[in-house]
Amino acid sequence: MMGSLLVVVLSATVGLSGPHRPAAQAPDDTAREPRGNRAAGVFSPGAVVAMLDTYAIVQAQDALQLNDTQYAAFVGRLKKLQQTRRKNQQAHNQIVQELRRRTGPQATPPFDEAAIREHLKALRELDDRSALELRHAYDALDEVLDVRQQARFRVFEEQLERRKLDLLMRARQGVAARRGGGR
């Protein structure tokens, strides 16, 4: 079941034909993209994120062997962890994108060194703040788990991430093979 759902979701995202959305845009905004702007059967990036988050929540109950009382508290805290991670990653991507714009091959001298320093400082501060927020989110999640479940959750997250990357690579290879075979 895990493989088939992720294959469908990731396969659908590989063929996104709508306009590119900046990484800093909230997933909820992309989920509301009008259907007319997407190819039939293709999910918006926000919808894919929501599906994967929901899938992780459902699979976690079995992987961690949560009882009903734990699961109720766990779900809200896992969602908070996911939101914290996503929000900080989007902010990080925004700053890096601005650094790329200011320093990349298209940037023309003279470079605004003060602005670059300011963005580097903002990135450092964001990374520090992000680490603290993630630590708090994990601490809150750990409050409802015993030590074995805490360890299993870390392993579960790693396995889920590896599986997502593996399935994404397979989906991309499938798209490339279809494009190559159709020419």
Contacts for 120 with CB less than 8 Å, ≥ 6 apart:
99
pLDDT band at 87 (very low <50, low <70, confident <90, very high): very high
175 within some domain: no
pLDDT band at 2 (very low <50, low <70, confident <90, very high): very low
Range of the structural domain that residue 71 is part of? 21-165
Domain-embedded: residue 12: no
Domain count, the chain: 1
Q: Does the model's pTM come out above 0.75?
A: no
